[in-house]
C-alpha cells in the first residue's frame, strides 16, 4: 500500500470512531455503471470494467468502513435483446432512469453514476442533473453538451479526453501560423480519430484556419498517393488521424513522392501506445525491408501525445491488471490478454472510485450528511484540484470545468537514428501555453523550421518570375510568347496605319465604298450571301485597279 493510502486510512479510522460514538448510520453509496457488456464495445465494455468497479468498491469499503458502504450494479440491459453497442447507446438513458427510480428512498442512500462510456452521455447528464445526482464519465472522449444551470456538472476522468488534445493541435497551428491545413481521416480507425477534426474546429477560435478535409478507408485503399498529390497543390501542412501503422504507410508514400525534404510537414496523434487500438507511432517495423525509407521519411513527421506518467510495470499496476483479467474470465467467461487489455482506461475507472470516496469523506467531515447527497456540490469538489496517488497509482488533476487533464507533448524524430524527442509541451495546468523545449531546425530536413504555410512563390511554385519553377511551369514561355505577339501586332498596326493613310491620300473622296452600295438580301442563307459579297468585292477591286492602270497610261 502506498504512503498516501496509509495516511488516508489513518484519518478515516479516527473519523469512524467519532461517528460510531455518535450512533450515525453508514451511508450507502450506490454506484450504477451503464455500459455495453461485450468487448466489441472497446475499452468501455462492461466485461473490462466490472472487475474494476468490484475491486475499487472492496478496497474503498475497507478504507472507509463504518462511514460508507460502496456497492455497484452493472447496467447493461437485456443482453439477449441488445446486440450492438449502438443499440445500447440508444437505450442507455432509459436504463439509467429505470435504475434510479427503482432505488429505495432513504436519506442514507446516495446514488452515483460512473460510466466507462458507450452511452448517450449528454442525455444521461440531463437525467442526473434533473435529480441532482453526481455523474462521472471515466472513458468518454467528449464533454457533455448539456449545460443548463443549475445543473450538476459532469466529471470526466478519461486518461486523454479529446478536448485537451484538440487544444494542442489548435495551439500548434497558431504557434506556427499554419492557416491552410490538409486533413486525412482513416474511416477504418477507432472513433477517437474520426472525431478529432470536429473537436479542433470547436476550440480553434483565435485564427481563421482553412481545413481541407478528406477521408480514406485503408482497408479498401492501401495507398495515399492520390490524396498526397492533391495535398501538394493545396497546402504544405498535412494532419493524419489514423492508426500508427497507417501513419507509417503515409510517410513512406510521401517519401516516394519526394515530399519529405522539409518543405512539407506531417502531423499525427497518438492517444497513447496501445497496439490493439492505436498502434505505436514509429518508423521501425520488425522484418521490414523499407525501414531505412521510413526512418528518413519520419524526419518530417511530428505527433501529439501524452507525457506518459503511468508506470504499467510497477508491482501495483501489474497486480491490478492481472486481477482484472482474472475477474473478467470469472464473470464473463472471456479470456483477456495483456495485449488486449485497455490498462490505462481501466486504471482511470479504478482511480475514479477512490476520488469519489475522498470527496465524499471530505464533505461528510466538513459539512455533514446533507451535502453528501448533493450531486452539484460533490461535482464542484472535484474542480481545480489534484488527487495525489489516486487509487495508489498516480496523481490526477481535474480542471475548473471538471475535466481531467494530463501534460501533452509534441515530438519529432531526431538524429541519425531518428529517435523520438519532445520539442513542445503543454502543461495540464496551463492549456493555452504551448512551451518550446528546443529548436529543431538543425534536425529538420533542409534546416528551415517551421515550413511556411505557403511558399513565397505559391503552392505550384509559379507566382514569382525569378522562381526556378517559373520556366518549368510555362511562365517564361508565356512571357516570351506574349512579347513576340505584342511586337507582331504593333508592327502590323503601324503598317496598316501607314498603308491606309497613303491610300486615303490617293483615293478620291467622292468614291463610295462598294460595301455601301450593296443592299442586304433578304432570306438569303449566310453562306450564299458571303459568296455573293466576296464575288462583288473582287470584281469591284479588279475594275478599280484597271481604271487606275488606264488613267496612268494617258498622256
**% of the chain residues with pLDDT over 70:** 78
- Grid cell locating 539: 470584281
Angle at 392 between CA 391 and CA 397, to 5 degrees: 65
* SS3 at position 537: helix
- pTM for the full model? 0.78
Residue 521 has pLDDT above 60, yes or no: no
Closest Cα to residue 57, out of 323, 366, 337, 353? Answer: 353
Question: When comparing pLDDT for 428 and 250, which is higher?
Answer: 250
CATH topology of domain 3-159+314-404: Rossmann fold (3.40.50)
- Grid cell locating 94: 432509459
Whether the bond into 137 is cis, omega within 30 of 0: no
Return d(Cα 499, Cα 4) in angstroms, integer. 106
Query: What does the pLDDT read at residue 460?
Result: 86
Residue 523 has pLDDT above 70, yes or no: no
Residue 551 has pLDDT above 60, yes or no: no
Residue 510 has pLDDT above 80, yes or no: no
* Residue 542: CB atoms within 10 Å: 10
| Lowest mean pLDDT across 24-33, 82-91, 269-278, 486-495 | 486-495
Question: When comparing pLDDT for 147 and 159, which is higher?
Answer: 159
Return d(Cα 271, Cα 547) in angstroms, integer. 97
The rounded mean pLDDT for the chain is 83
Residue 84 has pLDDT above 80, yes or no: yes
* Residue 35: CB atoms within 10 Å: 29
pLDDT in tens, 273-324: 787 888 999 999 999 999 999 999 999 999 999 997 778 899 999 999 999 9
CA distances in angstroms from 332 to 37, 44, 302, 328, listed in the order given: 9, 15, 41, 6
Average pLDDT over residues 424-442: 91
Query: What does the pLDDT read at residue 490?
Result: 57
CA distances in angstroms from 170 to 304, 452, 486, listed in the order given: 11, 17, 51
**% of the chain residues with pLDDT over 90:** 62
What dotted CATH number matches 162-309+407-436?
3.40.50.2300
Query: What does the pLDDT read at residue 207?
Result: 63
pLDDT in tens, 181-222: 999 999 999 888 988 988 888 876 666 899 999 999 999 999
Amino acid at each position: 500500500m502506498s504512503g498516501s493510502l496509509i495516511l488516508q486510512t489513518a484519518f478515516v479510522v479516527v473519523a469512524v470512531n467519532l461517528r460510531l460514538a455518535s450512533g450515525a448510520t453508514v451511508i450507502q453509496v450506490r454506484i450504477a455503471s451503464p455500459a455495453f457488456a461485450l468487448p466489441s464495445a472497446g475499452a468501455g465494455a462492461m466485461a473490462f470494467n466490472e472487475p474494476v468497479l468490484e475491486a475499487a468498491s472492496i478496497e474503498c469499503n475497507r478504507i472507509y468502513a463504518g462511514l460508507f458502504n460502496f456497492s455497484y450494479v452493472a447496467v447493461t440491459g437485456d443482453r439477449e435483446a441488445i446486440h450492438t453497442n449502438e443499440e445500447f447507446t440508444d437505450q442507455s438513458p432509459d436504463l439509467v432512469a429505470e435504475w434510479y427510480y427503482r432505488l429505495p428512498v432513504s436519506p442514507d442512500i446516495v446514488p452515483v453514476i460512473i460510466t466507462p462510456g458507450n452511452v448517450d452521455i449528454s442525455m444521461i447528464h440531463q437525467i442526473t442533473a434533473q435529480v441532482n445526482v453526481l455523474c462521472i464519465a471515466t472513458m468518454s472522449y467528449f464533454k457533455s453538451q448539456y449545460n443548463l444551470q443549475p445543473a450538476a456538472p459532469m466529471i470526466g476522468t478519461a486518461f486523454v479526453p479529446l478536448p485537451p488534445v484538440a487544444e494542442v493541435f489548435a495551439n500548434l497551428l497558431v504557434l506556427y501560423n499554419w492557416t491552410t491545413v490538409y486533413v486525412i481521416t482513416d474511416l477504418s480507425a477507432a472513433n477517437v480519430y474520426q472525431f478529432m477534426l470536429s473537436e479542433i474546429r470547436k476550440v480553434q477560435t483565435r485564427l481563421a484556419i482553412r481545413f481541407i478535409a478528406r477521408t480514406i478507408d485503408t482497408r479498401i485503399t492501401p495507398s495515399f498517393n492520390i490524396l498526397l498529390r492533391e495535398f501538394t497543390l493545396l497546402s504544405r501542412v498535412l494532419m493524419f488521424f489514423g492508426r500508427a501503422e497507417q501513419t507509417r504507410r503515409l510517410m513512406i508514400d510521401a517519401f516516394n513522392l519526394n515530399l519529405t525534404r522539409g518543405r512539407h510537414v506531417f502531423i499525427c496523434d497518438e492517444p497513447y501506445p496501445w497496439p490493439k487500438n492505436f498502434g505505436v507511432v514509429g518508423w521501425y517495423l520488425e522484418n521490414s525491408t523499407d525501414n531505412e525509407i521510413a526512418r528518413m521519411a519520419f524526419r518530417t513527421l511530428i505527433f501529439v501525445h501524452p507525457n506518459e506518467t503511468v508506470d504499467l510495470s510497477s508491482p501495483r499496476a501489474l497486480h491490478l491488471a492481472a486481477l482484472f483479467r482474472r475477474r473478467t474470465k470469472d464473470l464473463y467467461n472471456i479470456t483477456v490478454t495483456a495485449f488486449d487489455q485497455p490498462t490505462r482506461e481501466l486504471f482511470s475507472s479504478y482511480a475514479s472510485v477512490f476520488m469519489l470516496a475522498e470527496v465524499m469523506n471530505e464533505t461528510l467531515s466538513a459539512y455533514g450528511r446533507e451535502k453528501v447527497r448533493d450531486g452539484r456540490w460533490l461535482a464542484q469538489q472535484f474542480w481545480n484540484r489534484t488527487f495525489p496517488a489516486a487509487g495508489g497509482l498516480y496523481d490526477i488533476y481535474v480542471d475548473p470545468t471538471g475535466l481531467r487533464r494530463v501534460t501533452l507533448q509534441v515530438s519529432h524524430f531526431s538524429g541519425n537514428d531518428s529517435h523520438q524527442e519532445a520539442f513542445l509541451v503543454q502543461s495540464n495546468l496551463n492549456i493555452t501555453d504551448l512551451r518550446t523545449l528546443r529548436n529543431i531546425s538543425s534536425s529538420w530536413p533542409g534546416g528551415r523550421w517551421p515550413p511556411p504555410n505557403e511558399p513565397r512563390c505559391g503552392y505550384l511554385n509559379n507566382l514569382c518570375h525569378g522562381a526556378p519553377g517559373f520556366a518549368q511551369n510555362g511562365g517564361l514561355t508565356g512571357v516570351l510568347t506574349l512579347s513576340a505577339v505584342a511586337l507582331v501586332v504593333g508592327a502590323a498596326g503601324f503598317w496598316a496605319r501607314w498603308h491606309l493613310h497613303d491610300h486615303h491620300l490617293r483615293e478620291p473622296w467622292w468614291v463610295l465604298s462598294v460595301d455601301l452600295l450593296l443592299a442586304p438580301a433578304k432570306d438569303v442563307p449566310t453562306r450564299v450571301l458571303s459568296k455573293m459579297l466576296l464575288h462583288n468585292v473582287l470584281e469591284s477591286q479588279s475594275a478599280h485597279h484597271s481604271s487606275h492602270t488606264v488613267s496612268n497610261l494617258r498622256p
